Structure 1
Amino acid sequence: MKAPVCLIENTPEGKLEPNPEAIDILSKINQPVVVVAIVGLYRTGKSYLMNKLAGEQKGFNLGYNVQAETKGIWMWCVPHPKKVNHTLVLLDTEGLGDVEKGDTKNDIRIFSLAVLLSSALVYNSKGTIDQDALNRLKFVGELTELIKVKSKDNDDEEAEFSEHFPIFIWAVRDFTLGLVIDGNVVTEDDYLENALKLKTPEKTLKNMEFNKPRQCLRMYFRSRKCFVFDLPSADKEVLQKMEEVPESDLKPDFVAQSKKFCDYIFDKAEVKRVIGIPVVTGIRLAKLAETYTEAISTTNVACMEDVVVSLSEIENKAAVQEAILYYENKMMANVVFPTETLDQFLNLSRQCENEALEIFMNKSFKDKDHKFQRQFIELVQQKKEDFCEMNETKSWECCENLIEKLSAEFEKALSEGTYSVLGGHKKFKQDLKAIKEQYNMETGKGVQAEAVLKHYLMSKKPIDITLLKSDEALTEIEKENEEKKAIQKNKELESQMLKLEQYQSKQKMADQVTTMEENWKQLEEKMSEERRLMKHQIERVIEEKNREMNTYQNQGSLQANMYHAQIEDLQNKKVELNEPAWYKPIWNGFTQVMGAVAPAVISILLQKKFFPL
């Protein structure tokens, strides 16, 4: 993108609506996205920082006049400067507290969408972090009104926010104080944490009001960071033309602070994640933006669980279609019909199927009861059968044409009665044998080679018997012996045909077993990776909640007990993930899929002792 576009429009009627142009841009981005949103009071210089993150001087409107410029949420997608094959999505939000709007509901909606869509949330303010600045962050305490983690009532709703919310970065602009507390030089982070200290005892109304925004910031945002910025310049004209003046006209400290801020974002802001969704790409971010905006605009509540379920239905359906289309195209491009053997066909098909399965696994998520995996398996099986039938048909046609070509003189001789003479039966058998030998020497006949030949030979048995009985060159005993041999040979051909069918049936069954094993293998790998990510997330949240608990204990706060209970719950979740039986429900669901799609496969897998537990 050469310039930002509006992602979520704030209409004159006060309604928030996704902008189709921006949604279309996101929908074409297959890369993982790192989403950085900035919020704060209007006319505090938010856009300048976002332009710096984009690596440009101009882009987001700086708006150094008395009116707020940014309406709704604006988006700028650029290549991530440090993460290869990742996209950095920058969201500049409408300034909070616009006196012309005077609509606090609009402010909390904008703030909530910024929280829901970002992996890093920057809160931009001026001056110092004092009570007044924290009071302006009242939106944090109101998030529970618009954001729900689960669709069912949940007593631990607020406690779970930290597992889903972005990292929080407070950017303090035009900071003129010294970073000194109680006579000691401190870091910017120390400055923020000191400002977030609670007053005790908490039971007084005054202390409760004082503590509320601090408690919410501590509880909701698992990671907090602070940056302070000097005034960019003492020259008012320079401040009004920041998007035009070179960095050399700005204060060196401000330039260094801006670079430090950008480097931190590039290094620490992670790919946007939503519990239940493996990785958020531009396509998925587009769906999240549409769904969250509609939910907040229509019901005033955005439920994360419902959004993930809704998104999974759309994505999983698309994953099945994409994977099946890949299988079809790959088969048509890679397989030359007819294949020489059934094994060759099945091996080529399995390779294409495994690649298609990998596509499905990578793009699908939260596939409850393996509904969409079952669709994938059934559709691939049907397509494979269609290709197998095509392979057999092509082979049959090829072999029939070859037989017709090789037996042309032979058939002409039959029609002209050439073999209906003394000693003609012997000549008939010699010529038929020659056709068989020539036929077997030819290549490229395909999977029906034996079947077509045997079918042709069997079709000549009645003529064989007739010629045998009418050939006066043979004695009655010779005729009788030859007839017995012919009948026996015919039975052998029929037996061979049956054995061939049985062998091919076994090949197809073995292929089905291998297919199911591969489906389970890739599913297990996917679930194991999801479990690893869940454990990592839980461990990180436990570490952060331990830090908060220790802070509260040092302040003698009763909130420490709440954090202790939350940590215990998380420890229990972690224990459950470490137990071998964590994927029993997954295995049980998968066996039900196998039972529905291929009942015979289950017993074979059981005989092979194919147990995951």
Structure 2
Amino acid sequence: MMDRPVCLIGNTKDSKLAVNEEALKILTRISQPVVVVSIVGLYRTGKSYLMNKLAGAKKGFNLGYNVQAETKGIWMWCVPHPTKPNHTLVLLDTEGLGDVEKGDNKNDVWIFCLAVLLSSALVYNSKGTIDQDAIDKLKFVGDIAELIKVKSQDNEDEEAEFCMHFPIFIWAVRDFHLKLNVDGKPVTEDEYLENALKLRNPEKTTRDEDFNRPRKRLRMYFSNRKCFAFDQPSANKEDLQNMDNISDNKLNPEFLEQTKRFCDYVFREAGVKKVIGAIPVTGSQLGQLAKMYTEAITTSNITCMEDVVHSLSDTENKVAVQEAAQHYENKMKENVLFPTDTLNQFLEMNKKCEDEARQIFLKRSFKDKDQKFLQEYMELVQQKKNGFCNMNEAKSREVCEALIKKHSREHEEALAKGSYTIHGGHEKFKQDLKAIEDKYHMGPGKGVQAERVLQEYLASKETIGINILKSDEALTEIEKKIEEEKAKKQAQEMEEKVRELEESKKKQKFKDEQTSMEENMKGVLEKIAEERRLMRGEIQRVIADKERERESYEKQGFQRQANMYKAQIEDCQKEKEQLQEPEWYKPITDKLKAVFSAVAPGVIAFLGETIQAKLTQ
């Protein structure tokens, strides 16, 4: 993967932020789902040490022991996830907030918002204790609502939806020197954090409101919270200034154990980065999100997550169409030896290649409104399929015509010389044609046009044969009439045989197209059903988190806050119920049938009862 971190988002000369193309190229090559962990906090608080530990390395992110802040912008390090196979762990180390050299609060807010938008887990790093000063330093949370919107339409409960799309929040308290006690009783680190986030009741003064406001927002935006308190790594100042070089046995054992617990928690609880609709994000998609969010957040008054995801879906769906169609074309070229012996052989191989291409399209595409990109994909594959079918027939005709030419060479020479216009010449003419036909049938690899090419050749000799028959003095007039009728009957039988074969081919192609449509419909509906299942799971998680907050506020006597959460829970329940409607698929199948009719007119695609039952379980 990467042997060192690279800058993902850096500062430009005009005090804006821009995504580094080198980092984008790295992310583009990552097709695996990504777990993204960002760390933010004041500079000189040891953020980079924790990130190096998560990367499984002593060196990597610059620890920067000098007074001057080292990390500018956001730096990225991609490594294989240590506990989730086939996943990539993306670590984002942000520049220290509050850098006196920059003195740019706007830049700090941008960095913080980007860390929130890109992460599965957000680590806030601070020193000392979680007191009023520490919470005040987390002032950037208050600016999120001014820069981020979830949906494009106006929504009074916009901030209440943040928790569904924001990362888990981990507060890492460094150099913690107090006992974990509240009111004289021992507490856990998490209880210590929750106690620090309690509101002052009642809110009688402006000072009370100022005290409560950042706590309300932290609790609303980040419903999944965790706290880790770290002892000082070492009492030796020189060791603290050289932590990327000294061995662990020189560090405080309790600090090392705390660091291990922190890493284990992140590896276990930080999930795959997802966007609106519970869609898992790959490395290449993360790169696109970083670019889109950075451009939006530094050039607009507000960043709409829904709009960014729609832009990402358009980009990804276009790529999905091209990748899937190209895969189909490549596989057909690799695996099909033209001409195929039968149409069925061609269609079987085509189905295999189509199935693979469909999986590629469905895996990469998302939020395909009105199935526009599905139609584009199907039309492109259908176009390529028709091209291969035509090529299969053309190759077959080429082989068959060459075979006919080879076996009829002597016959054609005899015709040119008039060798059949003799006594008994018609019988010789028939025998030679039969010999050509027999040799032709024995020839291998003729393909799907074998009977048609033979019928065309024999039909081209019908008039010549009748003329030879009429001039043959070895036959009586009655025998000539009998032979002529016999020849016409054979020609008609051959023509009927070819017609039946062509009709059979049409039915095979029709059935193949119908099967393809049904498989496409089944695949799309299963994909949507899975997305709805994941979304229900996300909503249920949010409901549980909000219920916990409601109970907490009620115990503290904040009935107005408790009622607000109750209303939010009811809204979530309604949204979850809408996702569980038993016949949710009907309007989607209507759209799909319209798409299929446009792609393959005359083919009626439908879902059988067994598929419907499976999708609605």
RMSD: 1.6
In 1, Cα distance between equivalents of 2:193 and 2:278:
32
Secondary structure of residue in 1 paired with 2:226: strand
Q: How many corresponding residue pairs?
A: 611
Shift of 1:201: 2.1
- Name 1:564's counterpart in structure 2: 566
Structure 1 CA distance, aligned partners of 2:575 and 2:438? 70
8 Å Cα contact 2:8/2:76 also seen in 1 = yes
Alignment-derived partner of residue 443 in structure 1: 444
Deviations 1:532-587 (A, max 9, x none): 11111111111111111111111121111111111111111211222222223321
Aligned mates of 1:393, 1:12 — CA distance in 2: 61
Structure 2 counterpart of 1:574, from 573, 576, 582: 576
1:489 Cα shift? 2.7
Post-superposition shift, 1:95?
A: 1.0
String of CA shifts for 1:200-225, please: whole Å, max 9, x gaps. Answer: 22354222211111111111113100
Query: 1:429 maps to what in 2?
Result: 430
Q: Classify the secondary structure of the residue corresponding to 1:580.
A: coil
Q: Distance in 1 between matches of 2:588 and 2:53?
A: 46
* Shift in Å, 1:284: 0.8
Of stretches 532-541 and 421-430 in structure 1, the one that deviates more from structure 2 is 421-430
What residue is the counterpart of 1:305 in the other structure? 306
Please tell me the residue identity of whatever aligns with 2:573: Q
Q: Which amino acid aligns with 2:511?
A: A
Q: C-alpha distance in 1, partners of 2:194/2:270?
A: 20
Written as runs of structure 1 = structure 2, the 5 A alignment for 1:234-383 is: 234-276=235-277, 278-383=279-384
Deviation at 1:82, TM superposition (A): 1.3
Distance 2:389 2:598 in 1: 22
**Could you tell me whether the CA contact under 8 Å between 2:466 and 2:484 is conserved in 1?**
yes
* Rounded Cα–Cα distance in structure 2 between residues aligned with 1:34 and 1:85: 11
Tell me the SS of whatever aligns to 1:243: coil
CA distance in 1, matches of 2:87, 2:182: 40
Corresponding residue number in structure 2 for 1:546: 547
Residue identity matched to 1:446: G
Please give the per-residue CA displacement for 1:330-386, whole angstroms capped at 9, x wherever unaligned. Answer: 011100010001111111111101101110111111111111111111111111111
Contact 2:278–2:534 (CA<8 Å) still a contact in 1? no
Partner SS state of residue 443, structure 1:
coil
1:72-111 → structure 2 map (5 Å cutoff)? 72-111=73-112
| 1:584 equivalent in alignment to 2:586 | yes
Q: Deviation at 1:413? A: 2.0
Detail structure 1 runs of 4+ shifted over 6 Å in the superposition.
Answer: 608-611
Deviations 1:431-470 (Å, cap 9, x if unpaired)?
Answer: 2122222222222110001101111111110011111111
Structure 1 residue 408: Cα displacement: 1.9
Unaligned runs of 5+ in 2: none
Q: How far is the alpha carbon of 1:185 from its aligned partner?
A: 1.3
TM-score w.r.t. structure 1 length? Answer: 0.97
In structure 2, the residue matched to 1:460 is: 461
Report the alpha carbon displacement of residue 159 of structure 1 after superposing the two structures with TM. 0.8
Hey, what's the Cα distance between the residues in 1 that align with 2:71 and 2:415? 92
* Contact 2:51 2:61 (8 Å CA) reproduced: yes
Query: What CA deviation, in whole Å up to 9, does each residue of 1:226-264 have, x standing for no partner?
Result: 000111112222212222221111111111111111111
Q: Do the aligned residues in 2 keep the contact of 1:458 with 1:493 (CA within 8 Å)?
A: no
3-state SS of the aligned residue for 1:36?
Answer: strand
d(CA) in 1 for partners of 2:385, 2:158: 48
| Structure 2 contact 407–439 (Cα < 8 Å) conserved | yes
Q: Is the 8 A contact 1:338 1:445 kept in 2?
A: yes
Q: Secondary structure of the equivalent of 1:142?
A: helix
- The DSSP-based 3-state class of the residue aligned with 2:459 is helix
Contact 1:276/1:308, CA 8 A, preserved across alignment: no
Q: Are the aligned partners of 1:406 and 1:438 in contact in 2 as well (CA < 8 Å)?
A: yes
CA distance in 2, matches of 1:173, 1:44: 7
Q: Bigger shift: 390-399 or 236-245?
A: 236-245
Equivalent residues of 2:190, 2:226 under 8 A apart: yes
Instruction: Find the aligned partners of 1:605 and 1:128 in 2 and give their Cα distance.
Output: 63
Identity across the alignment (%): 64
Q: Does 1:595 align with 2:597?
A: yes
Amino acid at match of 2:587: P
- The letter for the 2-side match of 1:563 is Y
**Is contact 1:39–1:92 with CA below 8 Å preserved after alignment?**
yes
- Contact 1:10–1:71 under 8 Å retained in 2: yes
Deviations along 1:306-341, whole A, 9 cap, x unmatched? Answer: 111111111111111111111111011100010001
Q: Say whether residues 1:393 and 2:394 are aligned partners.
A: yes
> Compared with structure 1, are the counterparts of its residues 335 and 145 closer, same or farther at alpha carbon in structure 2 (3 Å cutoff)?
same
- 1:511-550 aligned at under 5 Å gives the runs 511-550=512-551
| Counterpart contact for 2:7–2:76, Cα < 8 Å | yes
Partners of 1:204 and 1:591 lie apart in 2 by 62
Q: Classify 1:610/1:52 alpha carbon distance in 2 versus 1 (closer, same or farther; 3 Å).
A: closer
In structure 1, how many angstroms separate the alpha carbons of the residues matched to 2:484 and 2:582? 68
Alpha-carbon contact 2:168-2:223 (below 8 Å) kept: yes
CA distance in 2, matches of 1:378, 1:7: 38
CA contact (8 A) 1:277 1:308 kept: no
